[in-house]
Amino acid sequence: MPNIYTDEVKLNIKTDLMNEARHVIIRDGYNKLRIENLTKKVGIAQGTFYHFFKTKEALILEMALSYQHDVDAHVKELIAHNGFITSDDFTRIYQNMFLSDENNIFRYLRRADIEHLISRLSVDIAQLYEASQATMDFVLTNLKNPRKDVDKELIFNLIQLLNLTIENKDLLIKNALEKTVTAIIHQMVSEIFESQETEENHAI
């Protein structure tokens, strides 16, 4: 990498590469992502890309890890401010992740794209699963009015069901996608939190 690049410039280039990659994937799909086009758009030589990322797939992994870090920071901020995660907080976090946040690159990848990434990053992608699991474990230990019998394996499967729903959205009825995701999230909430009626009975 040229010595003229300061640490600040390097960070800006890396951020620009990730942002431009996100725009391409959202607009055209993962298959249209080309390193040559990315570097032209960012204004660097194609060879310079490899000083930041070993491969195109490594770029996507870095984007996903960065997003997971942001989610983790948001969860910790909520807990630091309120002392716990409420059922409403939980619902908003997951609705944002799976329905509205453009920074969650996996919202825009198809199942075939995911399988390709896994095949190319079989070892490295474990970091993402571990980070995601750590965030979920942290959430589950900082809940307001959780059920005493929360089945973590069931919750994990429901999260995977959310992932599969988004990855295979092309096979689903588009107009019902948001309702489908919301229904899965509501099922998670019912499995994790005490019902309002139960809370009221405990208060009596």
Work out the average pLDDT over 49-60.
Answer: 95
Over residues 89-142, the pLDDT tens digits come to: 999 999 999 999 999 999 999 999 999 998 988 778 888 888 888 998 999 999
CA–centroid distance for 149 within its chain: 27
DSSP 80-122: HHHSSB-HHHHHHHHHIIIII-TT-GGGG--HHHHHHHHHHST
In this predicted model, which residue has the larger pLDDT, 124 or 169? 169
Question: Helices (H), strands (E): how many in the chain?
Answer: 9, 0
Which of 1.10.10.60, 1.10.730.10, 3.90.1150.50, 3.30.230.10 is the CATH number of 1-53?
Answer: 1.10.10.60
- 178, 131 contact by CB (below 8 A): no
144 torsion bin: left (phi>0), alpha (psi -120 to 50), beta (else): beta
pLDDT in tens, 21-47: 999 999 999 999 999 999 999 999 999
Q: Kindly report, residue by residue over 141-164, the tens digit of the pLDDT.
A: 999 999 999 999 999 999 999 999
Place of tokens 């984007």: 63
Tell me the C-alpha distance between 173 and 150, whole Å. 31
Output the pLDDT for position 127.
Answer: 84
What is the reported pLDDT for 197? 45
pLDDT beyond 80 at 198 = no
Whole-structure pTM value: 0.85
Question: Which pLDDT belongs to residue 196?
Answer: 61
User: Distance between terminal CA atoms of the chain?
Assistant: 67
**Under a CB-based contact definition with an 8 Å cutoff, are residues 193 and 141 in contact?**
no
